[in-house]
Structure formats: C-alpha cells, structure tokens
Structure 1
Amino acid sequence: MSSAFVIRNAVRFGRRLLAGRTQFAFERPQSIGLEIDGPVGLYVHVPFCAQLCPYCPYDRIPYDRALADAFVESVGAEARQWAQRLPGRQVSSIYFGGGTPTILGPQLAQIAASLREAFAVSGPLCLETNPADLTPKKVRMLADLGVESISLGVQSFQQPLLQRLGRKYSPAQARRALEWLARERWAINVDLMFALPGQSMEDLDADLREALSCGAQQLTAYPLFTFPYSAVASHRALQGVQMPRLPTRRRMFRRVWDRSTAAGFAPVSVWSFMRPEGGHRYSSVTRRRFLGLGPSAASFDGRRYLLNTFSVPEYVRSVRERGHAVALSMPIEPRLERLYDFYWRLYDTYVPKTKPGASAVPGRRRIEALLDAGGLLGMLEQDASGYRLNRRGAFWIHVAQNYFFLSDVNTIWATALRDPWPARIAF
C-alpha cells in the first residue's frame, strides 16, 4: 500500500468528518448577490504574460495589446458594478495577481484609479511580478502608484533550474531586480520553488542563503505542483516530471523551515516566513471575505463562493453586456464555512481557541477534536490562546494540500479552462 494511497484516503476521511455528506459542486448562478459585512479584500487577476511558463496552473494567456486594453476597461466597469451592489464597503487590501500584472505598465495606474474611485480603499496595494518584467522605470512607476508590498517570483538563483522551469531570465537579472526593489520603502516577498527535478540539497541551500540575505522581509517557498491540465508534462526540459517523492519533499521542506527560522524568519503560513519587523505580510489567499475582479477571479462572503469565467474574451463580453462575469456559484453551508475557515487558519499556522459558548457553531466540536488529535500526534503546540502548527504539522498540511486541495482545484480549473460557461462542476 503506497503512502499516497494512505494520505489521500486519510484526507478524504477528514473531509467527510468535518463536512459530512455536503455536496461539493459549482453551478451556474441564478443570482450573484453577495452579503459582506465589514471590510473586504480585493483581488484583481491580470491574465497576461510575455511567456507562458509550463508549470504554472493559473489562468493566463500571451499578452495582446488590444485585448489588454479591453480588459483594463472591463475591470473598471466590473468594479463600478460591484460597488453599486456593495455600497460603502471598505476595501482592506488590493492584490494584483496573474499572470504578470506589471506587463500592463502604466495601465495598472488606470485600474488602481478605477478601484479607488469605486471603493473606500484603506489598506495596502500589493502585486506580484517576475525578474524578466522589471526595469528601473517600472519600479518607479510602481512606487508612484502607491505599491506597499511586492512579491518577486525568483523561483531559483540557479541557471540550470531556471532553464528546466522554462524561465527566460538569468540569476543576475533576479539579483538586479531585487536591488531595484530594495531601494523603495515597501515590503518584499521572494518566491522560491523546491523539490525541483534535478535539484540537490546544495542547490536548495544556495537558493535559501541568497533569498534570506537579500534584504527581503518575507520568503515563500513551495514545491513544484504538477497539475494534470498544465503544460508541464509536455515541456521538453521536464519530460516525465511527477510530484517529487515524499521523503525528498520532506527533507527539503525541513531544510526550508530550519534555515528560515535560524535566520530569524518566523513562519506565517505553511509556505511563508517573515522577519519580525517585516511589516505587511504578502498573502492574497487568506482573507476571510474577498471580492475578485478579472477572469477566473473568485469572491466569497461566507455564504456563497462565486467564480468568474476563465476566458478573457468572454470576460470582456460579459462585463460589457451584464456588468459582471460570474460563471459559477456554490452555496456555503455553516459547517462548510467552518471547514473553509479552519483550513486557512491551519494554513496560517495558528488556530485561535474557541470563545466561550462558541462550541455550538456547526462543526466546531469536530474541529476541536481534530485539534486535540493534532496535539497528540505532535503536529500542534497549544498555548493560552490557541494552537500553533509546528514543523511536523506544517509539512503534513503541505501534503494534505497536494492530495486534497490541489486535486479539487485541478477538477474545477481544468473544466473552467475548457468551457467558459460550464453548467456544473462537481468535485
């Protein structure tokens, strides 16, 4: 019996234990209303890239100027429609993801102006980019835009590994990009990948040394995810690549954790480590309530989960005709909402204790039983106010994410990439 079989079925059991027989399925929405109390995080998906990296699972297409112009106008229109549906809603943060948001150049300022005009924005503006798309001029443009936090997708400082990943920049370009960013007063996150094909522990150590000493406030390190629908399997330099074996991933994960914490970085998620004085944490996925703009963007109010169409032309057409591009919706029952929140608190590596009288919340007692079990298994450490995930626990959440979360994401995204308006996606 393989370890993958055991892990996969253990995770399925956990899902059934927490969510019962809840049906997991997205369907075409009858309505798109959201009920959001309090601040909301705003995410803008920019789907354009100069080149399409074979391992990337996200919704992206080659840059096209005419389509990009239409996209920029559509994001502004979509924002105005949602602002009318959610009047007076305060935005606690804005994240630009992709794709490569900086490929839009000055048009980013046009989108940011539309968002600030539509909503009461009180939080930071954050975005991601890669070394191949940065220049000193773009860095100055981002500073003028008011960017406070930026994530640079370095992936590796080793030329052979960059080539295997299909990245079109050199380690020297990555270092120059970090130097340009360090001149500005914003929080920098460096993205690295580990458990890559052909990567040695010495390669990983070299990458960690450079990332932890470059002046960045945050390090995020994650393994190669081989989504079945992505192009990674057909990429010539990665022929035959599969998810790395569990012992290799465990050794490398431990090395990332140990090197990062020894350098004074504290874990702030399963993948991320941050200096104590690092300021704003870069994380676009852990907001409790969020609104998504752009193709494939998601929105969540605690009761419903909405997903925009993945097709960029269909997104533009739908916003022009209907004011929105919502393609799929899933109702979230209270027990499932607890499961969703529990997962992301574990992802953050800290689960607060239940307030007195809160155990009556659907599913809470089962979650507490799992937390107690995690403590007995040596994965969680309890203090006066909650449960903290340790290195052992963080690794197994990483494994569960691979065998459960990524499997479901693959089902949803593969269908949505094929069909702009699917009738139903069960997972």
Structure 2
Amino acid sequence: MSQPLEQPILWLKKNARNAVGTQLTSLPPLALYIHFPWCEKKCPYCDFNSHQAPAQDQFASQEARYIDALILDLEHSLPLVWGRRIRSIFIGGGTPSLISGAGLDYLLAAVRARIPMDADIEITLEANPGSVESENFAAYAASGVNRISLGIQSFNDQHLSRLGRIHRADEARKAITLAKQYFPKVNIDLMYALPDQTVEEALADLEEALSFDTGHLSLYHLTIEPNTYFAKFPPSIPDEDTAYDMQDKLLEALQIAGYGRYEISAFAKPNARCQHNLNYWAFGDYLGIGAGAHGKVSSAQQILRTVKERHPETYLKDIYSPSKALIEERVVQGSELPFEFMLNALRLIDGVPSHYFSDRTGIELTHIMSAINDAIEKKLLDSNLNQLKATTLGLQFLNDLQEIFLDEPDLEN
C-alpha cells in the first residue's frame, strides 16, 4: 500500500535500508512534468494516458477542477524537493492545447509561487494543430511558454485520416506558421512507416516540415502498441525493408538540412535541443503531477519513483487523499539502476560523461565493468570509458545493448 506523500521525509528515512550502495554526493537537475489527460479524440495508435474530453459545455468547469488538483498535487510533492530549483517544465498529454489561456496562466503562476525556477527556464507545451487558435497561442506565450511541440505527424490528408488525426494538412501548416510568430522554439512531430506510405511520401512529409525551418524535429516510426485500436485491427504498414529504407533516406535528408541527431528520435539545429528531454535522458530528476504522471526524485541516499492515478475522474476525487492518488511509490533498488540509467542515457547519440553514472545512481562504475566490457566486445558500446556512448551498431541494436545492463545481482545492500 502506498504511503501518503504528506510525510515523505519520514518515509524516506524509514526505507533507507533499500538505498543504493554509495550515497549521492550531489543531486541531478530537477524538472517538472505536468500531464493533461484529455483529447478531442483518441488516436488508434496511441497508448499514452489520454481520454475523451468532456462535452464543450462541461469542459470549462472540468478544466478549473483539474488545475486546482494539479496545484494540490504539486503541494503534496514539494517536501521531496525542498530547496531545489526546476530547470524546465513540460506540459504533455493528451492535448494540452485544449487548456484555455487563462487556465494555463493561472496554473503557471501557481507553480512559480510554490517552487523556485531557473531564470531562463524552458517551458514546453504540446499542441494538436486541430485545437490551435491564434488567441490561445498569444495567451500561452504571455503566460511564459517559450517552446511549443506540434503533433503534425504528416502533411498528407490521406495518411492523417488513416492515423485518426482530427486535423488536416492545411491546419498543420497554419499551426506551424502561428507557432513561429509566438514562440522562440518550435518542434514538429512527424511519423513515418504509416499505413500504405511510400518512401517518396515519407520524404515529401519531411521536406515540407523542413521548409518551415523550426529548428527542432522529432521523427517517430509508427509502432503498433498493445491495447490500442491498431493492435486489435492492424493496418497495412510498410514491410521492414521499406521502413529501413525510409529511415535511411530521412536521416540523410535531415543531416543535409543541418539538423543534428542528438537522440534516437530527436533532431535539432544548434541551440534548439529540448532541455527537458535532455535532462530526462541524462537521468535527471523530475516531479510528475497530473493523472497518470510519472516522477523520479533523488535524495542523498536513494531514488524514488512515483506514479499517479491514471483516470482523470478518479484522480480528481483521490487527490484530496494523496495516498489514494499516488498509485505507486517505490525506491529503485541498486540492481535496477544500471539498466534504468542506460535505458535513458544510451538513447543520446553522444552518450553522457561516464561520471554521470556514479553521480546519478550512487554506484561506482567499477561495479558494472563486466557488463561494460561485454558491450564493448560486442561493438555496441564505445571503448572510450570517459563517455558512455553507443556505437553506430549499438544505436541500431539499442535494445540488445541496454539489456546487457539488466539484473546486476551484486548491487543490493
């Protein structure tokens, strides 16, 4: 049974016996993730925690209830991070661009009043082109949002329809143009290997995305996830060879356009990388508030992971009893940490400095040298031990590389 968050310090002391072998000498950077769980329509490929939005005449009151719940959720979590500053905020979903400008301004003002922020904090909001309005974008920017991430996916109306997207290509173009007017940083999400998509069509999507020169682009291979509509009714997607051909040509086009690949699915021009996701992949800390939000918070002795109630209605009821709203709260065991760290860090094309491992897990690198040597011998990990970095082969077979670091039995107290 989860312990209530109103007594986290006592809870952490009580569970100190589960701490990793070496205490952390410093804490990693801290971010804040805010989950907005509603969408106008659930996409058939989506396995994120998203739910059909309430009817329009009910949405304003539901939004107000939810924002109040988010603020209370943050207050319950603050004892875990007293004295620490947040370096980034990411508002994801769902479709956060359904939030009213006034509602978002109220929420961000409440966050600022409760936790210190870096002066140059990056605040990202995800937006669906079908829910974009100029008035809202202006309000979001005025409230402090300085990075927008647009779920474009494709500029082909036929493919958008097959993906179940509510927007059309013209709305996508309009959303990007508006976003560039209001936000200094704009990301475009694209997908490839779509149902019946050809290599030429995938390249046409990318070419149009690049024409907007947004500085950042996320590129995802469509995957059929369990418990989705596509899992029950699989579409006709390109075969593996065609998908690899698409990927090779897309990567080549991005490189030519000056977009450096800095993570498996993320590409950016200089100074346009997503700071929130960089912190996440480098095994930084983040508070997670909202329905279904995940969190990771380090203390001197251990790393705590949290998960909030997924369903928005249940979350709204249970947030006043934090032990109910918090459906998972556990200390990460020492044997789990090498895999958890590598699961994130090795997604970065340049990897991370090797001292990050001991700094952010409390485990000396020497404890996992057998796994490191195994990965190097298989040519999946770079042999320069100053940097934990996947080779080109390792990036191609990333799952195999990460699994080498599973279950290190000698790391438990």
Tell me the TM-score range normalised by the shorter chain: 0.7 to 0.9
Correspondence 1:364 to 2:337: no
Query: Which amino acid counterpart does residue 223 of structure 2 have in structure 1?
Result: F
The structure 1 residue matched to 2:75, chosen from 63, 80, 85, is: 80
What does residue 29 of structure 1 align with? 2
User: Any idea what the Cα deviations from partners look like across 1:227-263, whole Å, max 9, x if unmatched?
Assistant: 22122245xxxx4337754323322222222111121
What does residue 268 of structure 2 align with? 274
Cα distance change, pair 207–102 in 1 and its aligned pair in 2 (3 A): same
Task: State percent identity of aligned pairs.
Answer: 22
Query: Which amino acid counterpart does residue 132 of structure 1 have in structure 2?
Result: G
What does residue 342 of structure 1 align with? 342
Determine if contact 2:216/2:272 at 8 Å carries over to the other structure.
yes
What does residue 48 of structure 1 align with? 38
Distance (Å, rounded) in 1 between the aligned partners of 2:143 and 2:209: 26
Distance (Å, rounded) in 2 between the aligned partners of 1:276 and 1:357: 26
Query: Which amino acid counterpart does residue 166 of structure 1 have in structure 2?
Result: G
Determine if contact 2:36/2:290 at 8 Å carries over to the other structure.
yes
What does residue 131 of structure 1 align with? 129
Correspondence 1:251 to 2:262: no
Determine if contact 1:96/1:127 at 8 Å carries over to the other structure.
yes
User: Any idea what the Cα deviations from partners look like across 1:22-51, whole Å, max 9, x if unmatched?
Assistant: xxxxxx424553779354110000001112
What does residue 152 of structure 1 align with? 150
Determine if contact 1:148/1:187 at 8 Å carries over to the other structure.
yes
The structure 1 residue matched to 2:191, chosen from 156, 178, 193, is: 193
SS of the equivalent of 1:258 reads: helix
Comparing 322-331 with 38-47, greater Cα deviation is found at: 322-331
Distance (Å, rounded) in 2 between the aligned partners of 1:176 and 1:129: 13
Query: Which amino acid counterpart does residue 180 of structure 2 have in structure 1?
Result: A
TM-score (normalised: structure 1): 0.78
Query: Which amino acid counterpart does residue 42 of structure 2 have in structure 1?
Result: L
The runs of 5 or more residues in structure 2 that have no matched partner are: 13-25, 405-413
Q: What root-mean-square deviation, in Å, do the aligned CA atoms of Structure 1 and Structure 2 show?
A: 2.9
The structure 1 residue matched to 2:207, chosen from 209, 215, 239, is: 209
Determine if contact 1:226/1:242 at 8 Å carries over to the other structure.
no
Distance (Å, rounded) in 1 between the aligned partners of 2:336 and 2:321: 33
Cα distance change, pair 105–260 in 1 and its aligned pair in 2 (3 A): same
Number of equivalenced pairs: 369
Distance (Å, rounded) in 2 between the aligned partners of 1:78 and 1:202: 47
Cα distance change, pair 242–361 in 1 and its aligned pair in 2 (3 A): farther
Determine if contact 1:187/1:216 at 8 Å carries over to the other structure.
yes
Correspondence 1:304 to 2:277: no
Cα distance change, pair 195–367 in 1 and its aligned pair in 2 (3 A): same
Cα distance change, pair 392–202 in 1 and its aligned pair in 2 (3 A): farther
Cα distance change, pair 226–40 in 1 and its aligned pair in 2 (3 A): same
Query: Which amino acid counterpart does residue 74 of structure 1 have in structure 2?
Result: A
Cα distance change, pair 354–386 in 1 and its aligned pair in 2 (3 A): closer
What does residue 64 of structure 2 align with? 69
Query: Which amino acid counterpart does residue 74 of structure 2 have in structure 1?
Result: A
Distance (Å, rounded) in 2 between the aligned partners of 1:103 and 1:318: 23
After TM superposition, list the pairs within 5 Å mapping 1:317-356 onto structure 2: 317-322=317-322, 325-352=325-352, 354-355=354-355
Q: CA deviation at 1:289?
A: 0.9
Q: CA deviation at 1:385?
A: 4.3
